[in-house]
Amino acid sequence: MPAGLDGGINLLQLAVITFFVARTIILFLGYALDAYLTKRQSDTTLTRSFAGLLGVVKFLIWSLALVIFLDNIGFKVSTMIAGLGIGGIAVAIAAQALLKDFFSYFSIVFDRPFKLGDFIIIGDFMGTVEYIGIKTTRIRSLGGEQLIFSNTDLTDSRVRNYQLMEKRRVLFRLGVTYQTSLEYLKEIPKIIEKIIRNTKETAFDRAHFFSYGDFSLIFEIVYFVLSPDYNRYMDIQQEINFAIKEEFGKRGIEFAYPTQTLFVEKTKTGRA
């Protein structure tokens, strides 16, 4: 067999082997990724992130396969790799902030401090997460405007995620007039406890005569709303407040409000 033909066959065999090895590795990674994402079907952010990551991994695998192939057929790739390494360092220094956001993005995706649709608070800002990107995360505030944070800012900040709440603690106080009888004062905690216990998705904690105020006798009440949903939380508070108003009205218990009593003293003036 001629040397040229033999060399061509060897070259073809090397190309085929390199191609199938690289292809097998990519298929295996794709299968492992699909198996992992099957367990998290509802997490669209993770699915989109892994799809992008798989594209980068594919590019790196094919690049490595090409380098190995060129090295095996006699090309001096070490000089080229050294040049690329120096260039890569320069690019990394120039794009340091971008790379920090990029790695913060994967920290958010894998650590999952929040996900799309979660209501979060960062410092003085709050809103619902709408988009998690490679560089920035976008949040829709309660006022309607869109807040844009770099991913590094988020990972370096204290994030409060209200979507992960299992229950909300509610503490409130109410005051009744000083004219309220002792009998009713003793009954008020029981009235409020009964109202809260009869309200769905709540857990009663306590109700006490708290203190003597300037113009009212103050009661302090604590209970929990067993739902992370904010609208449901407000609905339950409203329902309880209506019920307290109704029960107090039936018994003639009056809520206190600031009042002033003026005492006018009449003095007699004599004639000279």
Per-residue pLDDT reduced to its tens digit, 101-110: 878 887 887 7
Lowest mean pLDDT among 90-99, 126-135, 248-257: 90-99
* Domain spanning 113-163: CATH 2.30.30.60: yes
Interval 192-202: pLDDT, tens: 999 999 999 99
What pLDDT was estimated at residue 82?
A: 62
Q: At what angle do helices 44-72 and 96-111 cross, to 10 degrees?
A: 120
Work out the pLDDT band at 236, boundaries 50, 70, 90.
Answer: very high
Query: Looking at residues 239-257, what average pLDDT do you find?
Result: 94
Strand order in 168-176's β-sheet?
A: 168-176, 217-225, 202-212
Q: Are 145 and 131 in contact (CB under 8 A)?
A: no
107 or 148, greater pLDDT:
148
What pLDDT was estimated at residue 143?
A: 86
Q: Are 118 and 102 in contact (CB under 8 A)?
A: no
Which candidate, 144, 116, 148, places its Cα nearest to that of 49? 116
Interval 3-58: pLDDT, tens: 556 666 777 777 888 888 888 888 888 777 777 666 665 566 566 666 666 777 78
Lowest mean pLDDT among 33-37, 61-65, 239-243: 33-37
Residues 6+ apart with CB under 8 A from 214: 258
Q: Which class is domain 168-251?
A: alpha beta
What pLDDT was estimated at residue 193?
A: 96
Which candidate, 121, 113, 111, 102, places its Cα nearest to that of 53? 102
